[in-house]
Structure 1
């Protein structure tokens, strides 16, 4: 298993799409705060501090996570089907469960790296321009580590779903397209169905799709914290196991 993970990390380091995503999101993370900086400067409005910017725009990082997972899934995993690499490694003697688990772990790590770019780069830039400022009253001293830690957990949950789609569709274009549509529409779909059927309302309330929006809350009640921690972990494990089951039965051409 260790050697399989090492191989996947090697492929991730050599994957141009991964580095292109990191670069593109880094540029976006630098440009986005600058637009607000010059807009506020020209209008005479008070500038955002680093803490204010993080609190205001951390929810926007959910879109970066969804986009990053969808694109990386297509070019890092699904691309191996079209190039014949997946057929080769599937017949290498390792069990398909171990192969998928290794890919999922490394894919999740790559997605995690992408998910941290926007909150870290933009907050550092704004802090250099206007100072970090003060966190709002009631925020824990561990706010920053909590936000980044939860970001990593929820990205892993999304990565498990993205990896499952790669096994189902096997094609890069289909994987990216369906993943983007799914991640963007699932909130509205579950909310709409939940308004009619209470079970789906509860399902949505305790899904990563809704709870990801709570990552940036200044304070979290102790009663809400277990759900925030367990939901992404369970999503990663359960969807990952489902991906292994599908991959074992998948005919690889």
Structure 2
């Protein structure tokens, strides 16, 4: 298992699509706060400090996480079905459950690294331009590490969902298109269904799709912490197990 994970991490380091995604997200992370800086300067408005920018725009990282997982799933995992690499690996004699788990770990590691680019790069840039500043009253010093930890956890949960659908579709184009639409529309779909079928409201309230937007809150009640931790962990476990079942039964051509 250890060697399988090492192999996936090695492939991740060499994967061009991963490098391109890192560069794109890094460029956006530099351009996004810079546009606000130029606009505020030309308009005579006060500049955001690093702390203020992070608190105000950390929720935007959710879109980057969804985009990067959809793209990375299509290019890093699904492309191996098209090129025949997955067939070779699946016929190597290794247990398919272990193969899938190793692939999921490598994929999740890549997605988690990408998920930290926007908050860290934008924070560093704005802090260099305007200073880090002071955290607003009521925001404790653990805000940044808490946001980063939850970002990694929820990215892993989204990656598990992405890997599951990738095992189902196996084609890059279908995988990317479906995941883009799914991640962008699932909140609206579950919210709309909840208006007619109340159980969907509960499902939505305790799903990673809704809770992803809560990890950037400046204040989190102690009673909300168990849900914020357990929901993504359960999502990883359930999606991972379903992915293993799909991969084991999949006819890989």
On whether the aligned pair clears a TM of 0.5, the verdict is yes
Which residue pairs with 1:180 in the alignment?
Answer: 180
**2:58: which partner in 1?**
58
1:22 partnered with 2:22 = yes
2:249 aligned partner? 249
Once the two structures are superposed, what CA deviation does each residue of 1:28-58 show, in whole Å capped at 9, x if it has no partner? Answer: 0001101000100001000001111001111
3-state DSSP of counterpart to 1:223: helix
Counterpart for residue 85 of structure 1: 85
Structure 2 gaps, min length 5: none
Q: CA deviation at 1:140?
A: 2.1
Q: Which runs of 5+ in 1 are unaligned?
A: none
Match of 1:126 in 2: 126
Q: Equivalent residues in 2 for 1:7-156 (5 A)?
A: 7-156=7-156
Q: Distance in 2 between matches of 1:220 and 1:139?
A: 10
Give how far 1:138 is off: 1.6
Q: Which runs of 4+ in 1 moved over 4 A?
A: none
- Is residue 187–residue 210 contact of structure 1 (8 Å, CA) maintained in 2? yes
1:216 aligned partner: 216
Given the two structures, how large is their TM-score scaled by the length of structure 2?
A: 0.99
Aligned length: 253
Counterpart CA distance in 1 for 2:94 and 2:169 is 22
2:90 and 2:153 mapped to 1: Cα distance?
29
TM-score (norm 1): 0.99
Q: RMSD across aligned C-alpha pairs, in angstroms?
A: 0.6
1: CA distance, partners of 2:88 / 2:232: 32
User: What SS is found at the alignment partner of 1:139?
Assistant: coil
